[in-house]
Amino acid sequence: MESSALLFNQLKAADPFFLLAGPNVIESEEHVLYMAKHIKSVAAKVGLPLVFKSSFDKANRTSSKSFRGPGMAEGLKILEKVKATYDIPIVTDVHETIQCEAVGRVADIIQIPAFLCRQTDLLVAAARTGKIINIKKGQFCASSVMENSAEKVRLAGNPHVMVCERGTMFGYNDLIVDPRNLEWMREANCPVVADVTHALQQPAGRKLEGGGVASGGLRELIPCIARTAVAVGVDGLFMEVHNDPLNSPVDGPTQWPLRHLEELLEELVAIARASKGKQQLKIDLTPYHL
């Protein structure tokens, strides 16, 4: 818990924001190490604290035929190697209570997927690891739900919790990002993160050759959503990044190209530093006369 408190306080104090970034899923040890090396270099260059992200199992893929990752045992070994090789903290997600203890031995931040953000047993099991918990807001949830989810973690004895906006369902195959949520989620009394890549998914919106569907996405709008988020004053950004997004086996349409990461982050840092989004503007409603 002591190391979690140290990292949590470092992230809370990040100026202007911290970064959770990496490829959506572990494709291979070689690929994850490559991505970690280059993302760490970029983050250091632009002056952002980095937590490296990748998943060992994508349990909620649209199709049962889709690539899911190497599984927990192999995936945690790879993430542990990333952590040791590049001396960076790790964030990865869990889907079941039985995964939490093992994941907590490797990950510095345990992420709760959006679909599972209200699952009390999962939140409590993750909280009891003592690691920082990042809760994705469900696509079906109002921002106020995150107050209750964060409180479940705290009541389990873990004060180190963050909440993350990742878009809201807008019809059947689309998401919309409501910037008001970035403000309202502060009511959870913890750091607010904006997932600027998953927020641009088009769930089950892409038909596949031979039948079936997969999630599409609007990669070209990632800068738009990211600019909005940092101007509002979020504490952290979550971005999935890939060196070859067109050939990524998972969420290719919403992964940001590695070659453009530095360029985008430099702009976002500049916007965040110019904005007063983290400062509450006091509105005076007393009569005003010139």
pLDDT of the residue at 180: 96
Q: Looking at the predicted structure, is the pLDDT value of residue 148 above 70?
A: yes
List, by residue number, the catalytic residues: 24, 58, 251
Q: Could you read off the pLDDT of 153-177 as tens digits, one per residue?
A: 999 999 999 999 999 999 888 999 9
Please give the model's pTM, rounded to 2 decimal places. Answer: 0.93
CB count within 10 Å of CB 138 equals: 20
Q: Looking at the predicted structure, is the pLDDT value of residue 110 above 70?
A: yes
Q: Looking at the predicted structure, is the pLDDT value of residue 249 above 90?
A: no
Q: Looking at the predicted structure, is the pLDDT value of residue 63 above 90?
A: no
Q: Could you read off the pLDDT of 91-101 as tens digits, one per residue?
A: 999 999 999 99
3-state secondary structure 240-282: EEECCHHHCCCCHHHCEEHHHHHHHHHHHHHHHHHCCCCCCCC
Q: Could you read off the pLDDT of 118-127 as tens digits, one per residue?
A: 999 999 999 9
62 or 57: which leads in pLDDT? 57
Contact criterion met (CB below 8 Å) for 23 and 55: no
pLDDT of the residue at 216: 84
> Percentage of the chain with pLDDT > 70?
92
Question: Which structure tokens are listed for 17?
Answer: 């924001």
Distance CA 164, CA 83 (A): 23
